[in-house]
Structure 1
Amino acid sequence: MNRIFFPIIFFSITINFISFAQEVDIVPYLKQIEKGESEAVKNLLPKLKKDNPQSANLVFLEGVLTENGQDAVSIYQDFVEKYPNNPYADAALYRIYSYYYALGLYDSAGKVLKNLTDKYPDSPYIKMAVSQEEAKEESASEQKNETTETQRPVQVKNDTDYKFTIQAGAFVKIENAQSLKSELESEGIGCEMKEKNVGGTTFHVIYVGKFSSKTDAEKLLQQINARYNLNGRIVEKEKL
């Protein structure tokens, strides 16, 4: 079971809905999800799909209801390829961007953002993504200015004296994050949970271990990825 989950909130912006044959207006359902009623919508989805098998909008809605990040990304990618002119295509790309960004896969996120900008230059999601990029660059610049030449990596001695950690999972639902944290701690693996805001969505991120060298972090990363079926990665302290 993959443990990285994707946001299911609806970004409250106006979408110019275009009527297609057998299309379903999913705005009411998206608003329900935004109110925390995703289970109710999830229960309705099978019947909606049965009654409207050709509805592209329901494909997007299914992606929104899919909590597993990688599964949701697959749905969105397929959706954009099949229905590039659908009014929700830009929203699908933005959700893919947000997923990669939350994982710290900035190169992949950047490519998706370029795709979004090239294909949908008037999309309101571009501004949201660009604002996130600017915030990251500003933070990186501030941290760089605080670093001095005399600072060198040393062996970890306390909670603040380290260079690397492992991002084991990122969750929208705090219960899922707490579940992973408890599972790891029950095995004697030290970890902590922090919040990370991406495009208005709050992720609960689980970090494991504190290391002075990347080599040491890689050893534990391989172990926990295999043991807990995770998709963790090593991150630098200054990029947290």
Structure 2
Amino acid sequence: MRIIFIISFCLSFLSAQDYLDALIQDVLHGSRDSAAIYLPTMEQRYPNNPSLMYLKGLLETNGEEAKTIFAKLYNTHPTSDYGDDAVMKVAEYYYAAGLYVQAANWLKKMPIYYSRSEHIERAVKLFLNSLIVSGHKDTAIFYSRVFKRQFPALDVDGKIKDLLKDFEKADQEKEKAKKFAPIITEPEIPIVEYENKIPAVQFNSDNSNGIYSLQTGAYSVSENAESQKINLIIAGFSARINELYKSNRTLYVVRIGHFNNKEEARKVGVQIKSKLDLDTIVITNN
């Protein structure tokens, strides 16, 4: 009864959001007692509050359960104040568990959806390292170039060089150790699978009925087209892939937007050239 009175007294002076934020800060600074006491009552009052979900995840001592809570927070409230924090918590759980492919799939959400997050520098470094240690060095180098353009204030070149150097050193030590150890079979590393459900960032001028689009490339290998599409999406352009059949083979073409006239399309083409140094052509949609 006394606990309920204290909670009601506190909430009468602070808004629920301010109070939740204060409890979250307490937990982040190592003080968990107050939050643990107040959590059950506040859950009854605000069961779907994203801040409360984040607080609950912080208090959860079971890593798997905490990861599930943070993932639910991201999936249900991606634009909340703690959306980026939740993504990082899930990614860090997988990274710490050595599940680098899963970690990369979560970390890549940060530059796409939370490019202004306070965690972006750490996210970029963990993402690149996750790709490197999971055997996708070329993909990491590709993304380092993308991030260099997207985040000019970050020392991306320095980060990727250090990560590659550390990886090569560890790889050399592993090879050296093999000479003095029994035969060791390396675990098969799964291929990074990029989600096809990334929502495209739409231009104000983008119109599905527009008769013109921009084309940045045509590839015989779908993975190459997918890489360029992701590159464009990260930079803020609504890219898509269309399949064309020509001379008894399939081409995967990367296109951007739907425009009512060629001038609108050319203006966006100038932006793409400026941001990504990609040449574009204006095509007529069939």
* Structure of greater Rg: 2
Higher relative contact order (CA 8 A, sep 6+): 1
Structure 1 length normalisation: TM-score?
0.50
Higher relative helix content? 2
Structure 2 length normalisation: TM-score?
0.42
